[in-house]
Amino acid sequence: MSEAQTSEAGGYNFAYLDEQTKRMIRRAILKAVAIPGYQVPFASREMPLPYGWGTGGIQVTASIIGRDDTLKVIDQGADDTTNAVSIRRFFARTTGVETTEHTAEASIVQTRHRIPETPLREDQIIVYQVPIPEPLRWIEPREAETRKMHALAEYGPMYVRLYEDIAQYGRVTTAYDYPVLVNGRYLMKPSPIPKFDNPKMDMNPALQLFGAGREKRIYAVPPFTSVKSLDFADHPFAVEQWDQRCAICGAGDSFLDEVITDDRGGRMFVCSDTDYCQSRQPAKAAE
Amino acid sequence: MYVAVKGGEKAISAAHRLLAEARRGDPAVPELSLAQIDEQLALAVDRVMTEGSVYDRELAALAIKQARGDLVEAIFLLRAYRTTLPRLAVSRPIETEQADLRRRISATFKDLPGGQVLGPTFDYTHRLIDFALAAESDGVLAVPPTAPVESAPMPRVSSLLGDEGLIEPNPADAREPRDLTRDPLSFPADRATRLQNLARGDEGYLLALGYSTQRGYGKNHPFAGEIRIGEVEIEIVPPELGFPVVIGEITVTECEMVNQFKGSATAPPQFTRGYGLAFGESERKAMAMALVDRALRAGELGEDVTAPAQDQEFVLYHSDNVEASGFTQHLKLPHYVDFQAELNLVRRLRAEWNEPQAEAAE
């Protein structure tokens, strides 16, 4: 407890976790960074938020956050979704650090299901909340077996799965949490981001950390590391596209959420990344 | 025209105010005190302490009050509190043989040293709603005195059987048990780790799994060798003293199952063991745990692993109700992005599916 910090929320340490726990998590993070894409088991703690609601990401953030950090939390790309609000509030309460909704201003971005549209920089860390860390889980339910498969880089069954999709539907039918190969070695689940976001992971200047609380695993993609979405030479990986543009900011390059506007089939498409959308609105107004 | 579908800070705050109001209920009805919960809903407190892994009646009662009686939610509250507590010492193993017992029964012997002691049990009550209880008489119950529990030693049934070599000795394992809250599960898990997991596991889940072994999914012919409920002393050995010091007493329920025997060319036939232990009076939990413990030993006893209750990964990965409840309910969180990705895909697949039909129609 050398650096025991006073508490912002009566009775709890800075960022909730005690210092020994943070040290344990940081060790797991260092190991994860040293072996890109490898899932490091760690002694995940019960958090005051439920499992499946971001406890892995919260523990990673709690272990790396310092007083000078600026935190952004998004869920589905948006800062104002209820769970993002709740997690941002949790850190505001337990650390007192500054929070922001602007991607460019954040030093740490904790996310569920999206990577911001605004490119990340070297001085930023993105923390992903991960529900199921094991990319081979739907192929092999047993952990003892999947760990062996990773050790032997036995990824054939995953290619077979993708091939079966192509044979049956003419394309790979995984639209999110699309498997990637990290640094040419470990197969990794990118967490349930749409495959639209997969290319952003490749050679990203920011450090990418992944926390799975319930499954007790941490993994990482260090800056400027190759992240390749699995594909075949004759069926190259491709991201989804929309026929529409964002109805608010006019963006044609962002992931769009569909919003149902009435009960007669009326719908509109808007950016899922609210910060990106807002930052473009003055631009559109000037047009 | 854009409707704000995404929630906000205000909505959360308002929801929390509503929750506080709902928790309190009608203000005309007196508020529950922690002592009332502890005294009159004692078995709920026992369960929350067991699965919350904290022996603190007052804290468990508070968690139950805060959780509006939702025990899984109360267990969650207790766990989240516990996880930040420092580990000051590791106690010595408790000695249930020395326990101050209020209940001790065996289904394997009609009588045994120390006798059968029923204690306060629902067993043999007729489950008829007692309308007299509704009257809140507040009177002192006139309970006729019961025979005091014999102070004669009550040796364990398993020890009695063990003296004759009829039951396997407790498997020797000199290794320091792992702490599941400090070392994540890995497989194969040793028995100490499995028992820790089961002790924290959801009572309903263990009940169903234990029950499934009785119905043929991994049958192991159990007998309730012994069930004991009583107070045991907790001792620690402070390094500066070097001898054990009693730091308190806790109530525990212990169940030792005596199971199907086995023998081989090298070992004579003997009974095997299943073990269950829980805080407070938690007999159903302890019995179910003992059944599942025995089922999980299938591999080491050379039995075929065919049933769900015998499958380590299946049983241990899904036993924790804090994990299970959180992940099941996370489906309430927004999934717009993933759903949008699937929606786009299904539309495209449908369009392609329709093309040949349209061509055929032409």
Per residue in A270-279, pLDDT tens?
Answer: 999 999 999 9
Say what the pLDDT of residue B173 is: 78
Higher pLDDT, B267 or A183: A183
Across A76-86, average pLDDT: 90
For the ranges A138-147, A222-231, B168-177, which has the lowest average pLDDT? Answer: B168-177
How distant, in Å, are the alpha carbons of A69, B36, B43, B61, B252 from that of B40? 49, 6, 8, 10, 18
Token digits of residue A235? 């069926």
Q: Within an 8 Å CB–CB cutoff, is residue A140 touching chain B?
A: no
- Cα separation, B245 vs B238, in Å, equals 8
Looking at the complex, report in whole angstroms how far the Cα of residue A239 sits from the nearest Cα belonging to chain B: 10
Model confidence at B135, pLDDT cuts 50, 70, 90, reads confident
pLDDT greater than 70 at residue A2: no
Most confidently predicted of A112-126, B257-271, B338-352 = A112-126
Chain A interface mutation, best of B13, B190, B331, B340, highest count of A Cβ atoms under 10 Å: B340
Confidence at residue B358, expressed as pLDDT on a 0 to 100 scale: 76
pLDDT (0 to 100) of residue B132: 87
Residues 57-76 of chain A whose Cβ lies under 8 A from any Cβ of chain B: 75-76
Dist. CA A273–CA A285, nearest whole Å: 19
- Which tokens go with B107? 């289904």
Residue A4 pLDDT exceeds 60: no
Helix (H, G, I), strand (E, B) or coil at A14: coil
Look-up: residue for tokens 């800075």? A14
Cβ atoms A127, A90 nearer than 8 A = no
Name the least confident of A23-37, A212-226, B7-21, B299-313.
Answer: B7-21
Contacts with B, A 178-237, CB within 8 Å? 192-196, 214, 216
CB contact under 8 A, A47 and B11: no
**Cβ A213 vs Cβ A21: under 8 Å:** no
Three-class SS state of B232 = strand
Give all strands (DSSP E) within chain A, no chain letters.
40-41, 70-75, 98-99, 108-112, 125-129, 180-182, 186-188, 207-212, 217-221, 227-229, 256-260, 267-271
Distance of CA B274 to the CA centre of its chain: 15
Listed range (B8-22, B154-168, B177-191, B260-274) with the worst mean pLDDT: B260-274
Give the separation between CA B334 and CA B6, rounded to whole angstroms: 9
| CA-wise closest residue to B62 among B34, B32, B83, B84 | B34
Q: A216-253 as b/e, with b when 16 or more CB fall inside 10 Å?
A: bbbbbbbbebebbbbeeeeeebeebebeebbbbbebee
Q: Shortest CA distance to A117 belongs to which of A255, A223, A210, A242? A: A255
Task: State yes or no: pLDDT of B256 exceeds 60.
Answer: yes
A residues 254-273 lying closer than 8 A (beta carbon) to B: 255-259, 261, 268, 270, 272
Q: Which of A3-17, B143-157, B171-185 has the lowest mean pLDDT?
A: A3-17
More confident residue, B136 or B251: B251
Q: What global pTM score does this model have?
A: 0.86
Residue B346 scores a pLDDT above 80: yes
Taking Cα atoms as reference points, which of A233, A228, A235 lies closest to residue A167? A235
This complex has an ipTM of 0.77
Closest residue of chain A to B53, computed from CA coordinates: A46
Q: What is the DSSP letter of A104?
A: G
Q: What DSSP state is assigned to residue B352? A: H
Cα-only R_g, chain B:
26
The answer to whether residue B3 scores a pLDDT higher than 50 is no
- Does position B335 have pLDDT exceeding 50, yes or no? yes
**Which comes out higher in pLDDT, residue B166 or B361?**
B166
Instruction: Tell which of B76, B333, B335 to mutate to test the A interface (max A CBs under 10 Å).
Output: B333
User: How is residue A113 annotated by DSSP?
Assistant: S
Q: Given this model, what pLDDT does residue A283 score?
A: 64
Peptide bond just before B145 cis, omega within 30 deg: no
Determine how β-strand A70-75 pairs with β-strand A207-212: unpaired
Task: Kindly give, in sequence order, each residue whose CB lies less than 8 Å from that of residue B190, ignoring residues fewer than 6 positions away.
Answer: B173, B175, B178
Beta partners for residue A207, in sequence order: A125
* pLDDT tens-digit map of B77-92: 999 999 888 888 999 9
- Nearest 5 degrees, angle CA B201-CA A148-CA A212? 45
**Residue A223's pLDDT band (boundaries 50, 70, 90)?**
very high
pLDDT > 80? residue A228: yes
Return the residue in A51, A169, A229, A239 with the most chain B beta carbons within 10 A, the one to mutate for interface testing: A51
Does residue A231 sit in helix, strand or coil? coil
A63-77, A95-109, B34-48, B74-88, range with the lowest pLDDT: B74-88
Distances (CA, A) of A148 to A35, A136, A197, B173, B312: 16, 11, 29, 27, 17
Distance, in Å, from the CA atom of B114 to the CA atom of B191, rounded to the nearest integer, reads: 30
Give the pLDDT score at B357.
76
pLDDT higher than threshold 50 for residue B125:
yes
Helix, strand or coil for residue B246? strand
Q: Which among B45, B50, B80 has a CA at the least distance from the CA of B65?
A: B45
> Cα separation of B322 and B210, whole Å?
20
Is the predicted pLDDT of residue A188 greater than 80, yes or no? yes
Q: Are A19 and A48 in contact (CB under 8 A)?
A: no
Asked if the Cβ–Cβ distance from A169 to B349 is below 8 Å, we say yes
Distance CA A44, CA B182 (A): 8
- Contact between chains at A13 and B7 (C-beta distance less than 8 A): no
Overall average pLDDT of the A149-162 stretch: 96
Q: Report how far residue B242's alpha carbon sits from residue B240's, in angstroms, rounded to the nearest whole number.
A: 6
Q: Which residue has the higher pLDDT, B132 or B321?
A: B321
- Strand pairing partners for B258? B223, B273
**pLDDT above 70 covers what percent of chain A?**
95
Across the interface, of B12, B182, B327, the residue whose CB is closest to A43 is: B182
Query: Stretch B208-213: mean pLDDT, rounded?
Result: 95
Single-letter code of the amino acid located at A150:
H
Active site residues of A: 37, 246, 249, 271, 277
